[in-house]
Amino acid sequence: MSKTYKIAAIPGDGTGPEVAREGLKVLEAVSKIAGFKYKLKIFDYGAENYLKTEEVLPDEGLEELKKYDVIYLGAVGDPRIKPGILEQGLLLKLRFGLHQYINLRPIKLYPGVWTPLKDKSAEDIDFVVVRENNEGLYVGEGEFIKKGTKNETALQVSRNTRKGVERCIRYAFEFTRKRNRRKKLTLCGKTNVLTYAWDLWERVFHEVAGEYSDITTDYAHVDATCMWMVKNPEWFDVIVTDNMFGDIITDLGAMIQGGMGIAAGGNINPQGVSMFEPIGGSAPKYTGKNVINPLAAIGALQMLLYEIGEEKASEMVENAIIYVTEHKLKSLAAGKMGYSTTEVGDLVVQNLK
Ligand code: IPM
Ligand code: MN
205 in a structural domain: yes
Q: Is 279 in the pocket of ligand 1 (CB under 6 A)?
A: yes
Residues paired with residue 153 on neighbouring β-strands, in sequence order: 145
Q: Which residue's alpha carbon is at the smallest distance from atom 5 of ligand 1?
A: 87
> Residue 22: which pLDDT band, with cuts at 50, 70 and 90?
very high
Give the residue-averaged pLDDT of 180-198: 98
- Write out pLDDT tens, residues 283-328: 999 999 999 999 999 999 999 999 999 999 999 999 999 999 999 9
For 220, the domain range is 116-256
131 in a structural domain: yes
Share of residues in the chain with pLDDT > 70 (%): 100
Give the residue-averaged pLDDT of 119-125: 96
242 lies in the same domain as 288: no
144 lies in the same domain as 209: yes
Contacts of 182 (CB under 8 A, 6+ apart): 216, 237
108 in a structural domain: no
Annotate 186-205 with DSSP letters as a single string.
EEEE-TTT-TTHHHHHHHHH
For residue 220, give the CATH number of its domain: 3.40.718.10
Please tell me the distance from the alpha carbon of residue 73 to that of residue 231, in angstroms, as a whole number.
33
Give the residue-averaged pLDDT of 193-201: 98
Q: Which atom of ligand 1 is nearest to the CA of 251?
A: 10
The angle that helices 311-327 and 295-308 make with each other, rounded to 10 degrees, is: 160
Contacts of 146 (CB under 8 A, 6+ apart): 152, 153
Asked whether the beta carbons of 91 and 12 are under 8 A apart, the reply is no
Share of residues in the chain with pLDDT > 90 (%): 99
230 in a structural domain: yes
Asked whether the beta carbons of 306 and 254 are under 8 A apart, the reply is no
Ligand 1 centre distance from Cα of residue 186 (Å): 22
Q: Is 91 in the pocket of ligand 1 (CB under 6 A)?
A: yes
Annotate 286-303 with DSSP letters as a single string.
GTTSS-S--HHHHHHHHH
Pocket-testing residue among 10, 56, 92, ligand 1, by greatest number of atoms within 8 A of Cβ: 92
Pocket-testing residue among 56, 73, 87, ligand 1, by greatest number of atoms within 8 A of Cβ: 87
Given this model, what pLDDT does residue 200 score? 98
Q: Is 247 in the pocket of ligand 1 (CB under 6 A)?
A: yes
> Residue 1: which pLDDT band, with cuts at 50, 70 and 90?
low
> Residue 2: which pLDDT band, with cuts at 50, 70 and 90?
confident
267 in a structural domain: no
Q: What is the pTM of this model?
A: 0.97
Number of domains in the chain: 2
Ligand 2 centre distance from Cα of residue 247 (Å): 4
